[in-house]
Structure 1
Amino acid sequence: MSLTRDIEPSRHLGFGGGACTGRRPDPVPRQLFRDGNAAFWNPDDIDLTRDEADFAALTPDERRLTCLFVANLISLGEPAPQDLQPFVTAMATENRRDDEAYLTQLVFEETQHTQAFRTWFDRVGTGDSLPRFTESGDIRRRIFLEELSWSLYALTDDHSPAAQIRAAVTHNHIAEGCLALTCYTAGARICRSRRIFPGLLRIIEHIAADERRHIAWGTFTCRRHVAADDANWAIVTRRTQELLPLATEVIGEILAPFGLGAPFGSSKQGLMGSALNKASRRLDSVAGARGRRVEEVDHDHAPMHLEHEIATEAAGPRGKDVHQTVVPIRH
């Protein structure tokens, strides 16, 4: 059982950073933190010169759909520094230092993602129109402004495993694992199929790697709670079943203005089919923790291996003109 500590001045339990960890693998959040450090990138280093010209050459509908996909990602990243603070505090009060450190890195990365996409919008000349893309869609507003925010803010007063599971499923599995990665997949497909937007593609490659670490942490968090109490498995499945239909509707909402002829061959069925399959695989990973010891799950890198497998599949067979969209996770 974890020790608790108050988030108040002079109430720290001590300094454990120099403790010997032996030969065991790093706990999952500590390894994710290390991988995040190794994958550091700077949005200002990405050249967007060609993106500006490519954007100008698109049809109005093509420009609109591209902006909708990118704006959907800003809607997720921009509120994260504020919305995730209760989760950081929950980890701190449980004295889960590695999780606290990793969530702090996750918050930084979400801020970095927003910077990258805002810079891209400004460079292609649509920065002033951003609210038109980020504030549309009733279902999207419900999932981002209601379901996501409330599940995270519930942790302000409730640090229970159930509250943590609902927050992790909502943010890491649904918002990031389904909606964000679906938009990344769509954006990357646009870039590669037309050989346009090299800067945007590079941004997507970096951010998709970050997001997969975020998703792996969410899977890990659910796994450790399920290992601690098998009754928590029902909470994982119930929250997933509540939100997956909404995630599907969000993609349909984005494509609805274009009818059956959405630009770039985009379709709701095509975009969500793969996302739902991966959501099922992540649930299987959480189920794999049932009946296991918490200490064992804490050092089991299975969630990271799963995201590595998913990323390798997304990269496609060798020989095709595709780019791997993740920094490989060390096994």
Structure 2
Amino acid sequence: MSLTRDIEPSRHLGFGGGARTGHRPDPVPRQLLRDGNAAFWNPDDIDLTRDEADFATLSPGERRLTCLFVANLIAVGESAPQDLQPFVTAMATENRRDDETYLTQLVFEEAQHAQALRTWFDAVGMSDSLPWFTENGDVRRRSFLEELSWSLYALTDDQSPAAQIRAAVTHNHILEGCLGLTCYTAGAQICRNRGILPGLLRILEHIAADERRHVAWGTFTCRRHLAADDENWAIVLQRTQELLPLATEMIGEMLAPFGPGAPFGISMQGLMGSALSDVGRRLDSVARARGRHPEEVDRDHSPMRLEDEIEMDGNRSGGEDDRRTVVSIRRPVRPAP
């Protein structure tokens, strides 16, 4: 039996924690929560003693680009605990208990990511310079302070499926999936290929694993609304098309100071090529929810399996060194729908 919740004080109309679920597969958000619990990590356990020496050996351009990537990722993590509160409230109002619970874990993980990356900034002696890397950039400000905030805070007054889709595409698919995972993957490959910054490498690998769960939840959220109403497909496409040019511009803005020869051999085409391909694969996953029953989609773990596949494909394309895993991450077998 579904329960309507009023999140005002003392207005809860019921509790659903004891509901029977039988032997059906866990709903996607509940499984994501379990995966997150299994993969828990503590930033303070990561040894950063070698990173300071490695950082000092980089060229000025390499140090600058590394700090730009890390600082922008800190900005995402630090803004998430505040920006995502309207999404948590929307799930509570809709009585999506599993989603509400998972989003609290997601918010915690974003704060954890910011803590880990800020600790790395301190370890390499760059903490006083952090504001310089985050306070400039018109495209960056439009991404974080306008598009992201607008789409998430819109949920304060409008918790409709359309508003939820716009928020999920903005935060989970574009900011985390397209921009965030692109930077995490590129940074980890540089660390592996050059044999440098082992502490940063461990941080990036942990964060990337968390982010893939976040992206999977965004895909799932779009899928369940699409299964309920096929007209929501147009909203998914429209918001994606609105934001992809901004994501490309943001990467270009970070690389612009370096001209045609960016450090570490990084290029706009290299960074965005695989990212855009992954966006397309996630859209395909969303589209496959069309015409299906919402309850069936609720227990279809294919968005999680897709993120596992994207990660494996990226590792294979990077060569033998990129297939080596520094951090042991427990990955449960994904049950078929």
Q: Is the 8 A contact 1:78 1:111 kept in 2?
A: yes
Amino acid at match of 2:271: L
Amino acid at match of 2:39: A
Q: Secondary structure at 1:289's aligned position in 2?
A: coil
Q: Is the 8 A contact 2:3 2:16 kept in 1?
A: no
Give, in whole Å, the separation in 1 of the partners of 2:200 and 2:266.
Answer: 18
Give, in whole Å, the separation in 2 of the partners of 1:109 and 1:237.
Answer: 28
Q: Counterpart in 2 of 1:136?
A: 136
Q: Counterpart in 1 of 2:35?
A: 35
After superposition, the Cα gap between the structure-2 partners of 1:136 and 1:327, relative to the gap in structure 1 and judged at 3 Å, is farther
Q: Counterpart in 2 of 1:264?
A: 264
Q: Secondary structure at 2:11's aligned position in 1?
A: coil
Give, in whole Å, the separation in 1 of the partners of 2:49 and 2:23.
Answer: 48
What does 1:183-222 align with in structure 2 at a 5 Å threshold? 183-222=183-222
Amino acid at match of 1:244: L
Q: Counterpart in 2 of 1:275?
A: 275
Gaps in structure 1 of 5+ consecutive residues: none
Q: Counterpart in 2 of 1:328?
A: 331
Following TM superposition, by how much is the alpha carbon of 1:226 offset from its aligned partner in structure 2, in angstroms?
Answer: 0.4
Q: Is the 8 A contact 2:55 2:124 kept in 1?
A: yes
Q: Secondary structure at 1:79's aligned position in 2?
A: helix
Q: Counterpart in 1 of 2:312?
A: 312
Give, in whole Å, the separation in 2 of the partners of 1:156 and 1:59.
Answer: 46
Following TM superposition, by how much is the alpha carbon of 1:20 offset from its aligned partner in structure 2, in angstroms?
Answer: 2.4
Following TM superposition, by how much is the alpha carbon of 1:9 offset from its aligned partner in structure 2, in angstroms?
Answer: 2.2
Q: Counterpart in 1 of 2:153?
A: 153
Following TM superposition, by how much is the alpha carbon of 1:66 offset from its aligned partner in structure 2, in angstroms?
Answer: 0.4
Q: Counterpart in 1 of 2:284?
A: 284
Following TM superposition, by how much is the alpha carbon of 1:328 offset from its aligned partner in structure 2, in angstroms?
Answer: 2.7
Following TM superposition, by how much is the alpha carbon of 1:186 offset from its aligned partner in structure 2, in angstroms?
Answer: 1.6
Give, in whole Å, the separation in 1 of the partners of 2:240 and 2:34.
Answer: 29
Q: Deviations over 1:165-214 (max 9, x none)?
A: 00000000000000001110121122012100000000011000000000
Amino acid at match of 2:130: L
Q: Is the 8 A contact 2:75 2:134 kept in 1?
A: yes
Q: Is the 8 A contact 2:223 2:297 kept in 1?
A: yes
Amino acid at match of 2:333: R
1:121 aligns with 2:121: yes
Following TM superposition, by how much is the alpha carbon of 1:318 offset from its aligned partner in structure 2, in angstroms?
Answer: 10
Q: Is the 8 A contact 1:251 1:268 kept in 2?
A: yes
Q: Is the 8 A contact 1:305 1:329 kept in 2?
A: no
Give, in whole Å, the separation in 1 of the partners of 2:332 and 2:117.
Answer: 25
Amino acid at match of 1:106: L
1:168 aligns with 2:168: yes
Moved more, 305-314 or 276-285: 305-314
Gaps in structure 2 of 5+ consecutive residues: none
Following TM superposition, by how much is the alpha carbon of 1:58 offset from its aligned partner in structure 2, in angstroms?
Answer: 0.7
Q: Counterpart in 1 of 2:11?
A: 11
Give, in whole Å, the separation in 2 of the partners of 1:173 and 1:236.
Answer: 10
Tell me which stretches of 4 or more aligned residues in structure 1 moved more than 4 Å.
324-327
Following TM superposition, by how much is the alpha carbon of 1:327 offset from its aligned partner in structure 2, in angstroms?
Answer: 4.8
Give, in whole Å, the separation in 2 of the partners of 1:13 and 1:47.
Answer: 48
Q: Counterpart in 1 of 2:232?
A: 232
Following TM superposition, by how much is the alpha carbon of 1:271 offset from its aligned partner in structure 2, in angstroms?
Answer: 0.3
Following TM superposition, by how much is the alpha carbon of 1:313 offset from its aligned partner in structure 2, in angstroms?
Answer: 1.3
Number of corresponding residues: 331
Identical-pair percentage: 79
Structure 2 length-normalised TM = 0.95
Q: Is the 8 A contact 1:308 1:329 kept in 2?
A: no
Give, in whole Å, the separation in 2 of the partners of 1:83 and 1:204.
Answer: 22
Q: Is the 8 A contact 1:308 1:328 kept in 2?
A: no
CA RMSD of aligned residues (A): 1.5
Following TM superposition, by how much is the alpha carbon of 1:329 offset from its aligned partner in structure 2, in angstroms?
Answer: 4.6
Q: Counterpart in 2 of 1:69?
A: 69
